[in-house]
């Protein structure tokens, strides 16, 4: 498999001179299987330059897996140019919306209303298919298998395990580490901690052996206490998770949009220095980063 990062920012695009090295587009990851099947993880603004790179290879079949429907993970979808060209097939996969009580089929309908976008979904010319996923139920994409795993975020967020011919990667989307909401002297502390420990066992089992873990690392340890409940992790949490499951490589992504390249590299180096034996290669995501598994 080949993995390429097309968007590595969180929350909102952050273009400009201070984000040149790592990029300002929001989340989008391209995965190519051994048989060259195309899997796209999330459709932030990074999906637009990805689309431009695909135009010489039409017609195509693309399987887009949406972790969740917050704007920074879907805002590039109406700009995925193959959607407008006859002969292409685009399959969009994602979670059931517990608030709207609708499946992933609403994702384009909502974004492409005239109040928000000048082109309606009915005007798209590619063959579009929608698949609302069931947690833990694998989806075959050619020679690969994609398995959705429920993670911790204010809305349902599916992380995706992509396995192909003995190699495997996992992308968390947005994920906040589970923490005990009770103090140690509270009578409910032990029961809640037991639930967290059980959930960690379940999550580790679902991820399995990984050649690559791509993880949400929006915050520093110092920033996190003020952001509890916002649904994002830290560099230290990601390194600990990678070490716990024995991942061979870790890519830290979903960069805080106010953070320029210099600051990003500084806090990344500080986090890595706190874990002198992480047990894996730890990398900072940047647009254009390619990993061959």
pLDDT tier for residue 100 given thresholds of 50, 70 and 90: confident
Assess contact for 98 and 142: CB atoms under 8 A: no
Q: Any idea which residue has 């580790």 for tokens? A: 204
| Res 255: pLDDT | 98
Mean pLDDT of 67-92: 97
Global pTM value: 0.96
Residue 254 has pLDDT above 90, yes or no: yes
Assess contact for 260 and 20: CB atoms under 8 A: no
pLDDT tier for residue 216 given thresholds of 50, 70 and 90: very high
In the chain, domain spans? 2-292
Mean pLDDT of 157-186: 95
Mean pLDDT of 88-110: 89
Mean pLDDT of 203-217: 95
Mean pLDDT of 40-52: 98
Mean pLDDT of 189-215: 93
Average pLDDT, the chain: 95
**Structure tokens given for 73:** 């993970």
| Res 139: pLDDT | 98
**Structure tokens given for 188:** 């409910």
| Res 188: pLDDT | 93
Q: Which of 201, 197, 261, 259 is nearest to 232 (CA)?
A: 259
| Res 22: pLDDT | 98
Q: Give percent of the chain with pLDDT exceeding 70.
A: 100
Over the stretch 105-152, which tens digit does the pLDDT of each residue have?
888 888 899 899 999 998 999 999 999 999 999 999 999 999 999 999
| Res 143: pLDDT | 97
**Assigned superfamily of 2-292:** Ribonuclease Z/Hydroxyacylglutathione hydrolase-like (3.60.15.10)
pLDDT tier for residue 265 given thresholds of 50, 70 and 90: very high
| Res 181: pLDDT | 87
pLDDT tier for residue 101 given thresholds of 50, 70 and 90: confident
pLDDT tier for residue 189 given thresholds of 50, 70 and 90: very high
Mean pLDDT of 271-276: 94
Rounded distance between C-alpha atoms, residue 220 and residue 92, angstroms: 33
């Amino acid at each position: 498999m080949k993995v390429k990062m097309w968007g590595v920012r969180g929350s909102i695009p952050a273009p400009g001179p201070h984000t040149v090295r790592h990029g300002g587009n929001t989340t989008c990851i391209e995965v190519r299987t051994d048989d060259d099947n195309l899997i796209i993880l999330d459709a932030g603004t990074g999906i637009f330059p990805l689309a431009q790179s695909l135009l010489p290879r039409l017609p195509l079949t693309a399987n887009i897996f949406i972790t969740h429907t917050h704007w920074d993970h879907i805002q590039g979808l109406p700009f995925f140019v193959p959607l407008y060209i006859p002969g292409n097939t685009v399959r969009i996969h994602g979670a059931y919306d517990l608030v709207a009580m609708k499946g992933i089929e609403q994702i384009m309908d909502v974004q492409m209303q005239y109040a928000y976008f000048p082109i309606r979904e009915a005007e798209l010319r590619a063959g579009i298919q929608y698949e609302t996923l069931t947690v833990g139920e694998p989806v075959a994409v050619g020679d690969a298998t994609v398995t959705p795993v429920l993670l911790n975020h204010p809305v349902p967020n599916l992380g995706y395990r992509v396995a192909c011919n003995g190699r495997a990667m996992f992308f968390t989307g947005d994920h906040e580490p589970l923490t005990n909401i009770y103090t140690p002297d509270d009578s409910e502390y032990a029961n809640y901690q037991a639930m967290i420990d059980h959930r960690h066992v379940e999550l580790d089992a679902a991820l399995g052996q990984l050649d690559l873990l791509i993880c949400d690392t929006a915050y520093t340890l110092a920033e996190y206490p003020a952001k509890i409940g916002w649904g994002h992790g830290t560099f230290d949490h990601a390194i600990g998770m990678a070490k716990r499951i024995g991942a061979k490589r870790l890519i830290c992504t979903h960069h805080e949009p106010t953070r320029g390249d210099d600051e990003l590299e500084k806090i990344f180096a500080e986090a890595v220095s706190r874990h002198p034996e992480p047990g894996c290669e730890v990398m900072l995501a940047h647009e254009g980063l390619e990993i061959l598994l």
